[in-house]
Amino acid sequence: MRAVDLERVRPYGDHLDDGIVQISFTLPVPHGQAGRKCALELAARLGLERAEVVHQQRLRESYTHFLLYGRFAGSIDYTAQQVDELDLEYLSEDEIEAYAAEHIGRPIVVVGACTGSDTHSVGIDAMLDLKGFHGNRGLEGYRAFEAHNLGSQVPNSTLVAKAIELDADAILVSQTVTQQDLHIHNLTELVEIVEAEGRRKRTILACGGSRVSNELAKELGFDAGFSRGTYPHHLATFLVRELAARIAEQSTLSERDAAVQAAG
- Is 131 designated active site? yes
| 245: three-class secondary structure by DSSP | helix
Q: Report helix angle 182-196 to 156-166, nearest 10.
A: 40
209 in Cβ contact with 104 (< 8 Å): no
Pairing of strands 20-27, 63-72: antiparallel
- Strand-pairing partners, residue 204, are 170
**Contact residues for 3 (Cβ-Cβ < 8 A; gap 6+):** none
CA angle 123, 216, 193 (to 5 degrees): 75
Q: Considering the candidates 37, 131, 201, 218, report the single residue annotated as catalytic.
A: 131
DSSP H/E element including 112 = strand 108-114
48-60, strands of its sheet edge to edge: 20-27, 63-72, 48-60
Which of the residues are catalytic? 131
